[in-house]
Amino acid sequence: MQKFFTLKDLDVKGKRVLVRVDFNVPIKGGKIWDVTKLKASIPTIEYLLKNKCKLILMSHLGRPKELFAEGKTLDEVKKEFTLKPVAKELENLLGKKVFFAEDSITQDSVISHIPNEDITLLENIQFHKGETKNDETFAKKLASLAELYVNDGFGQSHREYASFCAIPKFLPSCAGLLVEKELKIMGKAMEAPERPFIGILGGAKVSDKIKVIENLLTKVDKLLLGGAMIFTFYRAQGKNIGNSKLDEAGVETAKKLLQNKKIVLPVDVVIADKFDANAESRIVSAGNIPENWLGLDIGPQTIWNFKEILKNAKTVVWNGPLGVFEFDKFANGTKEIAKYLTTLKATTIIGGGDSAAAVEKFGYADKLTHVSTGGGASLEFFEGKKLPGIEALEESYKRFM
Ligand code: AMP
């Protein structure tokens, strides 16, 4: 069991607190398209404000490193990835002034003094080279701005970055309310699930998800597969897959995995004559995909089968859409199963990323037990890996307890 401080374990009253949040929101031309990640950290922010803390928020946005590598200047990178619009949006959500420390972070320096505002948001932390290098000198400078550190950025906690892994070496550190909630719900599912426990996995490649499949197979009672990865399994069974997406490198692994009888494959698929939202479509049984056609969704018989298996579930963990949910015509499998989960008397957990985007799109997110804010982070969690950002909190606990 993980042991780290939570917010309630520390005496936060009146303290200056550095809070790592995940405000890496989708943004175009300065307009934010989805505020879910901002909303997710509001309980922690409000808790600290109620306790008269001075908050210094840190986050990254986008991938500045790639632009620097292309030879772009800080000013050019800023145009694309400044957190300024995020400060404005957060101000709207909180109904409270958020001071944006515009020049707080450059490629080589960090300001050494923060104005005495209730909430300050630092400029994109990845503007500094030290962040992704997990640099301790950089972390120490940030740590000197505060008396406590809080990790509320679950979605990035699988990264070995300075704002997650190095700062907790210098300050008493704890998990924020979001991180605590994510770990509690997903940790219970992985360690002591109520049964039957059903896993659902979709998405593109088998190779990307081998470790999740292997780890989930040791925990679940049944593992339902959908998405593009099923065609690699069909190929492993010697079935025709037409032009469907194939992960050639995963075929041998799929053969081995198929020996595990917990795996349930779709019995029918919705096929298309091309990869297009308006493609011609048909339903065929697995193995009967004609040449030049490709499978883009699970079929109606499979939806029925999956619902039968899910009917009595007490815990469900789902990662990866079951079809190309971005196209309405091929969204039915993902949509139907998401809707069905909302009717169950079970703990229903959606890993982040595309599966979270899908349940949001269909309007079911609020009716499920938990939709993780971390795509990569929840995937690594389901793989059974320790997240570096959480390990850093455990180390900090030992150091400061
Ligand atoms: P992942 O990031 O691995 O979870 O993959 C998610 C992507 O898989 C989504 O963009 C889906 O559109 C895509 N996907 C799901 N089913 C299929 C399919 N049958 N063929 C091609 N892409 C698919």
Residue 323 Cβ < 6 Å to ligand 1: yes
Residue 320 Cβ < 6 Å to ligand 1: yes
Residue 221 Cβ < 6 Å to ligand 1: no
| Angstrom distance (rounded) from CA 401 to CA 397 | 5
| Angstrom distance (rounded) from CA 274 to CA 255 | 28
Specify the DSSP element, H or E, that contains 45.
helix 42-50
* DSSP bridge pairs for 222: 198
User: In the predicted model, is pLDDT for residue 28 greater than 90?
Assistant: no
Ligand 1 atom with the smallest distance to the CA of 244 is 20
Helical residues (DSSP H) of 153-285, grouped into ranges: 177-191, 206-217, 230-236, 251-257
Q: Which residue has the CA at smallest separation from atom 18 of ligand 1? A: 228
What values do phi and psi take at 295, rounded to 5? -85, 130
The CATH code for residues 7-181+386-400 is 3.40.50.1260
Q: Tens of pLDDT along 140-194?
A: 999 999 999 999 999 999 999 999 999 999 999 999 999 999 999 999 999 999 9
Q: Tens of pLDDT along 260-272?
A: 999 999 999 999 9
Ligand 1 centroid–CA 62 distance in Å is 22
Ligand 1 centroid–CA 274 distance in Å is 15
CATH architecture for segment(s) 195-345: 3-Layer(aba) Sandwich (3.40)
Ligand 1 centroid–CA 90 distance in Å is 32
User: In the predicted model, is pLDDT for residue 1 greater than 70?
Assistant: no
Ligand 1 atom with the smallest distance to the CA of 295 is 19
Supply the pLDDT for residue 206.
85
Specify the DSSP element, H or E, that contains 198.
strand 197-201
**Domain ranges, ordered by start, for the chain:** 7-181+386-400, 195-345
Instruction: Quote the pTM value.
Output: 0.93
CB 225 within 8 A of CB 202: yes
Q: Tens of pLDDT along 363-383?
A: 999 999 999 999 999 999 999
| Angstrom distance (rounded) from CA 204 to CA 17 | 40
Q: Which of 135, 153, 126, 128 is nearest to 19 (CA)?
A: 153
Fold match, 7-181+386-400 / 195-345? yes
Q: Which residue has the CA at smallest separation from atom 2 of ligand 1? A: 203
Residue 172 Cβ < 6 Å to ligand 1: no
β-sheet with 370-371: strand ranges across? 263-264, 222-225, 197-201, 315-319, 347-350, 370-371
Residue 228 Cβ < 6 Å to ligand 1: yes
The DSSP symbol for 29 reads T
Ligand 1 centroid–CA 296 distance in Å is 8
